Chains A and B, each alone.
Chain A
């Protein structure tokens, strides 16, 4: 960068202004939601742009209890946790088999799992619903957990296979010579060694599951998840913006916490996913 000309530096400095505004616009919606959630309905009508001068938590209490967000939140937590754990177990097992074990049609089976990336929910919406009905999985947490796992699985399997392929095979051989069964090798060697990749996967899959609307809209018609609940709230409380924005803040809070804690991992995970397809 030492040879950077004066003009280039000036151009970059000028470019920083719109880029800075864009950065602020990325943070503004959350500020907007939090700020308005802290106002009373009356305050909001008087001054919708100003800061909440006498912040109140009443909207959060109301959204949590009266608008049933407590129930929706629990449903989302159950579905997300269940799916993320299942995704880690299933993709680690599959990755171990695909990367470290020898068996016929290995590449073909890998291709089958990856090819399902081309089949999003929309493409199989009707038969997917019929499958769920036939298996009695509609309106059950297990049904939603299995659906999330099925639809977010290929990327996870891909990542675990790539990660395990990079591990030296001697690790497995050594454990085998010590008399460990393959199940023991997976549990005592592969799972612990896979931790870095598994943590990244857990974070990315948490984002996908928590943020999902279409699958939960289809599967959980009775027991709403948080995102389905929020979209319903929009219609019900359209004249009570502070209450509505409190709901938005509650729904976004876990993701914001993840973003603050694991920014680096999210960035590198997305970059890996992007570059490797």
Chain B
């Protein structure tokens, strides 16, 4: 849409005849206006991306630039149990994506269909999503600790407590559940925006034809939502790979062991605690590769939808 409007303004400008001098002046001013944005992005993001790739090919430490070792860091990663479990955890995280997409979709459809209390739900659901993951994580660390409130509640019911965040079997699923709970409101908003484009006439026509509610959902609404589902899947996946740091940092510190160490957490640990910046840079490149594929998918989806 923006590309389109950019194009239009471009054409509008082109049809006007102007003396070349003022056009050059305009270009000069434009460059000055753009300069701060371009500089910030270049200095802090784009240039570091290439530099990081360079560092990943060396044996650098925090004090020593090190030597060129080619793919050494990448090969070392393959043998590193930390890296392996980070990748295994990433797979678990990715497998949970359908849950992260389906729950908000179902809730949004219900809100759209006029569930009683929908205005209240819509405004409350995204509240956890705007709180910092540090706030969310801190509260849940109190609730879920071994002598915390959830276990106290369970013991009243006669169920013995579980060290939710201290067991390698439960730590990652519990962290993911908290992440899901704290971000589903965002998904609901995305799906509600998408649902506003679903034609009311089609739903009504299906209903008059005697279709049951689940048939309308399955055959009319969900197919219409397909672009939003695809979009939400990609956004959620990128989000899960790059925005769980805060929650993990506060809740588990990557542990117990490496049970909740995901790639982004390993990068942070490797550059700081482990003092292996070159290795951290290599893991960064792996993460970049993963998110790039997703971003490429996202662009394809967006451009395909724009061409319909």
Contact = CB atoms under 8 A, between A and B. Distances in A.
Interface of A: 1, 3-5, 7-8, 11-13, 15-16, 19-20, 22-23, 25-27, 29-30, 32-33, 36, 48-49, 89-91, 93-94, 96-104, 106-107, 109-110, 112-113, 115-120, 122-131, 146-147, 149-151, 153-154, 157-158, 161-162, 165-166, 169, 182-183, 186, 207, 210-214, 217, 227, 230-231, 234, 238, 241, 244-245, 248, 251-252, 255, 258-259, 263, 266-267, 270-271, 274-277
Contact of B280 (A125, A166, A186, A251): A125
B92 interface: no
B175 interface: no
B126 A213 contact: no
Nearest to A160: B37
B179 to A, nearest CB: 14
Of the candidates B27, B41, B139, the one having the most CB atoms from chain A within 10 angstroms of its own CB is B41
A252 B36 contact: no
Residues of A contacting B: mostly: helix
A210 B133 CA distance: 11
Interface string B80-116: 0000000000000000000000000001001001111
10 contacts: A5-B213, A7-B213, A19-B107, A27-B127, A90-B40, A131-B47, A169-B9, A211-B134, A211-B246, A238-B145
B110 A19 contact: yes
Interface residues of B, number: 107
Given A20-B117, A113-B37, A26 B1 contact: no
A219 to B, nearest CB: 11
A248 B138 contact: yes
B159 interface: no
Given A12-B110, A214-B268, A126 B52 contact: yes
Interface string B16-29: 00000001001101
Contacts of A30: 127, 131
Contact of A103 (B2, B31, B149, B267): B31
Contacts of B284: 122-126
B2 A158 contact: yes
B298 A277 contact: yes
B186 interface: yes
B275 to A, nearest CB: 11
A20 B34 CA distance: 48
Contacts of A104: 27
B27 A154 contact: no
B74 to A, nearest CB: 15
Nearest to A23: B124
A211 B133 contact: yes
A26 B41 contact: no
B6 A102 contact: no
A266 B227 CA distance: 23
Given A106-B6, A125-B281, 5 more contacts: A89-B36, A112-B46, A119-B45, A126-B55, A213-B250
